C-alpha cells in the first residue's frame, strides 16, 4: 500500500468538502433525468432541440384571421387536380364517349384480364348475382328464405336486356351503382372494373354462343 509522503502537507478540510460537493452535484442531473423518465405530468416535457416538432400551426376547424372567411381549413382552388387524379380519358375512367356509353373496351382484352375479372367477380359480385350470373347468389337466397318484404332480385347478367347494354353502361353500374345495387367505385379500382366487365361478357357469351362460332372439335364434343 502506498503511503502518503511525509513532505506532502495534508489537504485542507474545506477543499475536501468542496470536492465532495462537486462530486455529488455531478450526479444530480442524472438523478433528475431518471426521475423525469418515470413520472407523469400534464405539462409538455422540456424540449431542448426543437427539430420542428413544436411549431405554430392551425388545426382542424380553427379560426385563421389571415383569410377573409377566417377558415383555417382551405378549400381546393377551383380547377386544380390532385397529382395522379387527372382522369382525362372519359372512356376509360367513366365509360363514356361524350354523352354516349362506350361500346368498345378501352383496354386490351386478354385471357389474363378475363381470368382476373373472374376472380374480382367472385369476390364482389357473386354474393348477389351468383357465380354463374343468374342473379341467385347467397344474398338473394337468404332474402327469399327470410321472405324479405320489397326484396328485388339481382339482375340476371346474361339476360337479353343486360347483353344489349353497352360495356360503358355496365362499367358505370359497377362504379356508381344502380337502383338497389350500391356503388363499388371505392372498393374496386378502375382496371379491375373493366376486368369484371370483360368477364361478364364472357358469361353472357357462354350462355348464348352460336355453334358456328365454336371450333369443330368443340361442336363434336357437345353433340
Residue 35 CA to residue 41 CA, distance in Å, equals 12
pLDDT at 219 exceeding the cut of 60: yes
Instruction: Specify whether the CB–CB gap between 137 and 126 falls below 8 A.
Output: yes
pLDDT at 5 exceeding the cut of 70: no
Per DSSP, helices labelled H in the chain are 13-38, 90-93, 111-124, 126-129, 138-145, 160-163, 167-176, 190-207, 216-222
pLDDT at 210 exceeding the cut of 80: no
Query: What's the confidence (pLDDT) of residue 24?
Result: 85
Q: What are the b/e assignments for 188-205, b being 16+ CB within 10 Å?
A: bebebbbbbbbbbbbbbe
54: which DSSP letter?
S
Residue with cell 368443340: 218
Please give the residue that has the higher pLDDT: either 111 or 82: 111
Mean pLDDT of the chain: 86
Please give the residue that has the higher pLDDT: either 214 or 133: 133
Helix (H, G, I), strand (E, B), or coil: what is residue 181? strand
Amino acid at each position: 500500500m502506498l503511503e502518503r509522503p511525509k513532505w506532502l502537507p495534508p489537504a485542507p478540510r474545506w477543499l475536501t468538502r468542496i470536492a465532495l460537493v462537486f462530486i455529488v452535484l455531478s450526479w444530480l442531473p442524472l438523478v433528475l433525468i431518471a426521475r423525469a423518465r418515470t413520472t407523469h405530468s400534464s405539462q409538455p416535457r422540456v424540449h431542448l432541440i426543437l427539430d420542428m416538432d413544436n411549431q405554430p400551426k392551425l388545426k382542424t376547424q380553427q379560426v385563421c384571421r389571415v383569410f377573409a372567411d377566417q377558415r383555417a381549413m382551405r378549400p381546393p382552388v377551383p380547377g386544380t387536380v390532385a397529382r395522379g387524379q387527372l382522369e382525362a380519358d372519359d372512356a376509360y375512367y367513366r365509360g363514356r364517349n361524350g354523352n354516349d356509353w362506350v361500346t368498345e373496351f378501352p383496354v386490351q382484352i386478354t385471357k389474363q384480364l378475363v381470368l382476373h375479372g373472374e376472380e374480382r367477380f367472385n369476390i364482389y359480385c357473386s354474393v348477389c348475382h351468383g357465380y354463374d350470373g343468374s342473379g341467385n347468389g347467397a344474398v338473394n337466397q337468404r332474402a327469399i328464405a327470410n321472405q324479405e318484404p320489397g326484396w328485388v332480385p339481382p339482375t340476371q347478367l346474361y339476360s337479353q336486356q343486360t347483353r344489349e347494354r353497352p360495356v360503358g353502361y355496365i362499367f358505370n353500374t359497377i362504379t356508381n351503382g344502380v337502383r338497389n345495387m350500391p356503388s363499388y367505385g371505392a372498393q374496386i379500382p378502375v382496371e379491375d372494373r373493366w376486368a369484371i366487365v370483360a368477364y361478364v361478357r364472357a358469361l353472357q357469351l357462354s350462355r348464348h354462343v352460336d355453334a358456328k362460332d365454336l371450333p369443330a372439335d368443340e361442336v363434336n364434343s357437345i353433340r
